A and B are shown apart, each in its own frame.
Chain A
């Protein structure tokens, strides 16, 4: 791609610099097709009105484009609006080789092109354990029962009609898979922020606090200290949640996501929201809540989602997503257009509360500057940070470091590996580094 093609709207220096250096070199090296194409392009330029000539200005300004000189489309042309056709690049994508069955795989959210803190519902990351279904809400039921009768006055069944009559809450929370960044424990493995950090999304969820339902069933909080959440999919995935989180009112049974119902891939019509805890506990297609007096050691807390330590022990029931951040623009697999000013932008989050501060380094962590946080800053939600940067064209290593309201500072790779080794898979919240080279290409590196 030539410099000119890369930056539309910049006026072409004409006529003596009509060919870029790159194109001149191509001609010099015998690639005459390049020259032919250039002349064809020049011919096309001559055929257009004189106003379009570069010396007078940008043809996009001098000549009104069709959308300014014709009638547009009527309302409700798209009854459910879709993104512009020019936005086809930003899609959920799988990482090749990560899983061999689509029903038990992951698709990553394209963080490299998203703004603010809300993930568009259609780009929310996916993780299914036995495929997804589009469940008929009129046939969906939520059962609440006890592992024995003494823990609950009565087991109950709720329909969506009934759940949606109850007092609701709407809260913005991040959800991050425990295995996010898990490919990178040992070494750099994937090229872009979509694949390093894209098992991360943030939505406004609407639903009923679980404590409302448990109390409606007459739960005995003294005995029932654990909750088992179960899905209605084939895997009927189950996870243990501590009753303390339920009692605090934080955990809720959600049907709404970003103003509409949940998307099928995200649990339609009902999922659990467990703020600050890894995504696997946010059981989708939620069909049953059991209160119990001990943890359940389900498959996804006894075979998977356990963190291997260097001494051969596995950490079990590791759930909280600790403070973490990543720069999304510029990030791996992107190329800066030119020297000069950039708004470096990224995301920070903590499973222990609000983000207090984010610092950014441009020299691989030797010196740091505090970034601007875009408000309002919310509990266990993504927080957008921005910082000014003038790139002088020399190599740089960009990093971000989150600090949460508990004072916890996001660790370096060196610090994390020292205690957990490189085989944990889960809960990698190390500081991410992006290396910028003279050409402007940004790539994934790890700084210890």
Chain B
């Protein structure tokens, strides 16, 4: 066995203890970032507006941009609940004065919107800039972000219709946010230093204090809630979400008919997503033939599935009239198979 001489051993200990702080030790690892690189990626905007780019944008310009780039998901007035939870609404003039959204505690608010929650305007600027629009994140220029934010602030009746938001006046707007005083950090769930020590929160003190009682812990068992019947079946056939062997079985939640119905609904959904339902109806002709007609024509033909898959994939013209069917190369083979089998088996 190799034995260290004493001085060498001391030296080894010394260098081990300095490894963590002397960055020269990781030679060949990493390189300095160039100023242009840091500028390209360091786009965050903090609550003190460090990182905020220079620029400005009007409510009017914001309205145009919002209609063009945002409204399809969020609705023209940021009110839509179709794709995401609403951005705007739910606050009052009084909330703007107090900085606390009253609806949050009174129960009058049917649903929280972004502006009923957010306490820092920097957050909204930062997120529009880094992540919006949904399918083209980071494509907005700073002036466009200012404009869209100005429009949202106007929807919320925080700024007037002729307002121009800029890096110069955003700090003033912060003072008008309806829920600016609505946050608390007085809790035990921050894993760093406490507020007393310059950090956040109460230093990890929990807000519940259950006891580990073992015997006769309560006089009776109060059931507060049970699974509603609709929720029992809303997640599909539970039998098929468990192994078919082992100590238990998944509970059968759908009968065979319901299972077929669910499968049909799933396939109809797939057909809609794949774009089929734009031209075909299940029971009726639209541009192309109804699926009932297709099933009837191919009935009893043993190679129907293969032929139909090939037809749907490649597209074609003449079989059902003069309107051509476009090729459908975007549909995955397995999906194509599911769809064709569904059509041939009498889709519903």
Contacts and interface: CB of A to CB of B under 8 A. Distances in A.
B228 interface: yes
Given A306-B117, A401-B210, A299 B123 contact: yes
B127 A299 contact: yes
B206 interface: yes
A329 to B, nearest CB: 6
B23 A217 contact: yes
A342 B33 CA distance: 59
Nearest to B197: A244
Contacts of A245: 191-192
A93 B266 CA distance: 14
A170 interface: no
Given A96-B234, A158-B29, A445-B223, A212 B20 contact: yes
B1 interface: no
A101 interface: yes
A447 interface: yes
Interface in B196-222: 198-201, 204, 206-218, 221-222
Interface in B92-141: 100-102, 104-106, 112, 114, 117-120, 122-124, 126-127, 130-131, 134, 137-138
Interface in B230-260: 231-232, 234-235, 238, 240-253
A314 B210 contact: no
Contact of A191 (B31, B114, B131, B231): B231
Contacts of B250: 89, 333-335
Given A314-B184, A333-B241, A359-B212, A443 B207 contact: no
By CB atoms of chain A within 10 A, which of B82, B212, B213, B244 has the most? Answer: B212
Interface stretch (A17-25, A39-47, A62-70, A405-413): A405-413
A284 B251 CA distance: 36
Interface residues of A, number: 139
A236 B130 contact: yes
The DSSP consensus for interface residues of chain B is loop
A316 B183 contact: yes
Contact of B251 (A155, A195, A333): A333
B30 interface: yes
A337 B244 CA distance: 11
Contact of A318 (B51, B189, B222): B189
A207 interface: no
Interface in A13-44: none
A104 B214 CA distance: 43
A71 interface: no
A294 B134 CA distance: 28
A97 B29 CA distance: 47
B303 interface: no
Interface stretch (A48-56, A119-127, A415-423): A415-423
A365 B190 contact: no
A218 B23 contact: yes
B50 interface: yes
Given A89-B241, A216-B23, A312-B104, A411 B235 contact: no
A161 to B, nearest CB: 9
Interface residues of B, number: 103
A100 B80 CA distance: 12
Contacts of A413: 224
Contacts of A103: 134
B306 interface: no
A198 to B, nearest CB: 11
A238 B21 contact: no
Given A191-B253, A216-B23, A294-B47, A236 B225 contact: no
A366 interface: yes
B26 interface: yes
Contact of B185 (A153, A195, A299, A315): A315
Nearest to A218: B23
A435 B223 CA distance: 10
A67 B285 CA distance: 51
Contact of A156 (B31, B127, B137): B31
B23 A446 contact: no
A156 B182 contact: no
B213 A234 contact: no
Interface stretch (B35-43, B58-66, B159-167, B330-338): B35-43
Contact of B244 (A89, A288, A330): A89
A445 B126 CA distance: 42
A147 B210 contact: no
Interface in A165-217: 165-166, 187-192, 194-195, 211-213, 215-217
Interface string A206-234: 00000111011110000001101010001
B46 interface: yes
A213 B23 CA distance: 9
B145 to A, nearest CB: 14
A373 to B, nearest CB: 15
Nearest to A238: B44
By CB atoms of chain B within 10 A, which of A104, A148, A189, A191 has the most? Answer: A191
A336 interface: yes
B247 A296 contact: no
Contacts of A309: 184
Contacts of A366: 216-218, 221
A293 to B, nearest CB: 10
A235 B210 contact: no
Contacts of B214: 359, 367-369
15 contacts: A89-B244, A145-B33, A148-B50, A189-B231, A191-B231, A191-B253, A288-B41, A306-B117, A317-B190, A318-B189, A333-B250, A334-B249, A365-B218, A401-B210, A415-B210
Given A303-B127, A315-B184, A447-B221, 6 more contacts: A96-B234, A212-B26, A238-B44, A294-B47, A319-B189, A335-B248
Interface of A: 1, 6, 8, 86-87, 89-91, 93, 95-97, 100-101, 103-104, 110, 112-113, 129-130, 143-145, 147-148, 153-158, 162-163, 165-166, 187-192, 194-195, 211-213, 215-218, 225-226, 228, 230, 234-238, 242-245, 276-277, 287-288, 290, 292, 294-299, 302-303, 306-320, 322, 329-330, 332-337, 342-343, 351-352, 357, 359, 363-369, 397, 401, 403, 408-416, 419-420, 427, 435, 441-448
